[in-house]
Amino acid sequence: MRLDEIRLGVNIDHIATVRNARGTSYPDPLMAAKIVKEAGGDGITAHLREDRRHIVDQDISGLKQQNILPLNLEMAVTNEMQKIALDIVPNAVCLVPEKREERTTEGGLDVCKKISSLRSFIEPIKQKDIRVSLFIEPSEQQIDAAKSIGADIIELHTGYFCDLYEKNDKNYIEVIKTLEKAAKYAFKIGLEVHAGHGLTTESVGYISKICEIKELNIGHAIISDSIFMGLRGAIETMKQKIKEARF
């Protein structure tokens, strides 16, 4: 298979986390989106949570209006979010499981358990030409279920791999194999494959080597690195690590 560059979607949620911590108007996620573009990022990812703990509705409409880069709206499967997506029309939505008490998205969406409700949930979204991505664990059953309801993309949850890698638990090698197998399977049955969650400049290379993966969505590590090297530097460094691993 030909190796193409992986797109990097930069998750800018934590720009809003910092802003909201003090209730100021800065740092501005829209300004961050402009820097993401200048630094070579390929897309903006933002998670509009039910509790609006970071990104808020105004950020999403600003990102869409200014159209700086393609917008991937992460959201829960709720009527409120469906209405917002149909109103804003982002380039893609990524459906995630969401629990109010979690710190970040834990685990993937259980598509197998919700086949018919998810199918009807995504139908009007697809009719607006918004691409639909499902954030799932690397399992063939989940991938088959995603395909059967008409998703365009699956995003493989890399959180478990990243947790093991950070703890230096060598079981991460097995998890990488599972992710690779899942990516190959999803690609073979015609789904576009993305991956993300918990990736850092140290762990990203393992995932970037999986040539079926077309896009990575990374937030926390990039925004953290930007404290020390600036947002532009953090994005350029991440892009470089991805490139080195892939080619």
Q: Is 184 in the site for ligand PXP (CB under 6 A)?
A: no
Q: Is 108 in the site for ligand PXP (CB under 6 A)?
A: no
Bridge partners, 10 (sequence order): 44, 218
Using the contact rule CB under 6 A, the part of the chain among 52-60, 175-183, 193-201, 234-242 near ligand PXP is 193-201
Q: Which residue has the tokens 């093991």?
A: 164
Q: Is 44 in the site for ligand PXP (CB under 6 A)?
A: no
137 contacts 158 by C-beta, under 8 angstroms: no
Q: Is 111 in the site for ligand PXP (CB under 6 A)?
A: no
Q: Which of 132, 99, 105 is nearest to 118 (CA)?
A: 132
Q: Is 14 a catalytic residue?
A: no
147 contacts 115 by C-beta, under 8 angstroms: no
Using the contact rule CB under 6 A, the part of the chain among 20-28, 59-67, 122-130, 211-219 near ligand PXP is 211-219
Give the active site residue among 14, 157, 194, 197. Answer: 197
Smaller CB distance to ligand PXP: residue 29 or 196?
196
Smaller CB distance to ligand PXP: residue 96 or 146?
96
Bridge partners, 107 (sequence order): none
Write down the least CB distance from residue 8 to ligand PXP, Å.
11
The dihedral through the CA atoms of 30, 32, 38, 44 has a sign that is negative
Using the contact rule CB under 6 A, the part of the chain among 112-120, 138-146, 218-226, 235-243 near ligand PXP is 218-226
Give the active site residue among 74, 155, 212, 215. Answer: 74
Buried b (16+ CB within 10 A) or exposed e, 108-141: bbebeebeeebeebbeebeeeebbbbbbbbbbee
The contact set with ligand PXP (CB under 6 A) reads 11, 13, 47, 74, 94, 96, 104-105, 135, 155, 196-199, 217-221
